[in-house]
């Protein structure tokens, strides 16, 4: 039996892992939230690993409130940097392999070509900075790690852009959505499938990888596709970023090159519209 610890156990990615893990009878999961396992407390993490037999750890726990992080710097850093470091140290001490989720927000968005894993990370805000610090803490503490940077994550679970748009469409005939920030929507179920594959293969191809769905979109394109597939009557209008100011700056372009993960793990990645249709149909 392979024992897998999943932090952030109530979030959309952990719930998606539950969805894709059906049928893998050789896996036994320990899903934890902050009440069960406080990753910001080094001793708590060390004790938890000592008291539980763990083969793999998937870190889905994160401080993800991009705008709130600008004024809540200490907590964002405790979760995204210190929490990642504590898990990495415990993994090393107990011979556990770590899969850690990071973000396209480590980039400043000033590129005009796809971002590769070797490109310089220059975060624009506290969220991206603390996630980058978490990556670096893992890389400095551990060899047996997989860091998966992803983007624009959504699913049928928890709160996300897709579900927000569908909720707003119930009461609003028109919506304005930013059209000059470019990235790639990623279905959490697809990302969860990659993690399960890495564990099922017992891979030792450690390192940093980019994973999102295929294709390119603006938030406007994403919203338009949601309304089209869901067959809602809401009309969406494109606006510029400056028309919708936020406390944290967003990268204008954060499309990632996925060549490395596709070649290493011999995988095909679905286009974002294909996966979006699945998610909406599941709802």
Report all structural domains of the chain as residue ranges with CATH numbers, in order of start.
2-158+185-213+255-270 (3.40.50.720)
Active site residues: 127
Percent over 70 (pLDDT), the chain: 100
pLDDT of residue 260: 98
User: Which is nearest to 104 in space by CA: 63, 160, 152, 151?
Assistant: 151
Q: What is the mean pLDDT of residues 72-98?
A: 98
Helices (H), the chain: 12-20, 42-51, 73-77, 83-93, 126-141, 161-169, 188-200, 219-230, 259-265, 272-282
Model confidence at 10: pLDDT above 90: yes
List, for residues 200-252, the tens digit of each pLDDT value: 999 999 999 999 999 999 999 999 999 999 999 999 999 999 999 999 999 99
Q: What is the mean pLDDT of residues 69-94?
A: 98
- Whether 13 and 189 have beta carbons less than 8 Å apart is answered as no
| Reported confidence tier of residue 23, pLDDT bands at 50, 70, 90 | confident
Give every CB contact of residue 164 below 8 A, 6+ residues apart in sequence.
none
- Tokens standing for 188? 């959490």
- Whether 283 and 196 have beta carbons less than 8 Å apart is answered as no
Our CA dihedral for 106, 41, 36, 54, rounded to 10 degrees, sits at 80
| Reported confidence tier of residue 49, pLDDT bands at 50, 70, 90 | very high
Model confidence at 22: pLDDT above 90: no
Give the global pTM: 0.96
| Reported confidence tier of residue 70, pLDDT bands at 50, 70, 90 | very high
């Amino acid at each position: 039996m392979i024992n897998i610890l999943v932090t952030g156990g109530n979030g959309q990615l952990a719930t998606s892992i539950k969805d894709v893990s059906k049928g893998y009878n050789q896996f036994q999961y320990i899903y934890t939230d902050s009440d069960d396992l406080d990753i910001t407390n080094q001793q708590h993490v060390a004790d938890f690993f000592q008291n539980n037999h763990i083969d793999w750890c998937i870190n889905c726990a994160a401080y993800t409130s991009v705008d709130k992080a600008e004024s809540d710097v200490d907590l964002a850093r405790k979760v995204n940097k210190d929490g990642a470091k504590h898990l990495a140290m415990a993994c090393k001490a107990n011979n556990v392999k770590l899969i850690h989720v990071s973000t396209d927000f480590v980039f400043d968005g000033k590129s005009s070509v796809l971002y590769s894993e070797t490109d310089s990370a220059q975060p624009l805000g506290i969220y991206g900075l603390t996630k980058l610090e978490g990556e670096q803490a893992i890389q400095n503490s551990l060899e047996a790690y997989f860091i998966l940077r992803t983007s624009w994550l959504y699913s049928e679970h928890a709160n996300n852009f897709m579900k927000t748009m569908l909720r707003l469409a119930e009461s609003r005939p028109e919506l304005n959505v930013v059209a000059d920030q470019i990235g790639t929507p990623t279905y959490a179920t697809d990302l969860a499938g990659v993690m399960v594959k890495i564990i099922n293969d017992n891979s030792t191809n450690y390192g940093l990888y980019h994973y999102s769905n295929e294709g390119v979109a603006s938030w406007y394109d994403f919203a338009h596709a949601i309304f089209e597939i869901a067959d809602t009557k809401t009309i969406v209008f494109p606006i510029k970023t400056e028309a919708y100011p936020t406390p944290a700056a967003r990268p204008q372009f954060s499309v990632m090159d996925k060549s490395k993960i596709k070649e290493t793990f011999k995988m095909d990645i679905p286009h974002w519209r294909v996966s979006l249709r699945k998610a909406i149909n599941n709802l």
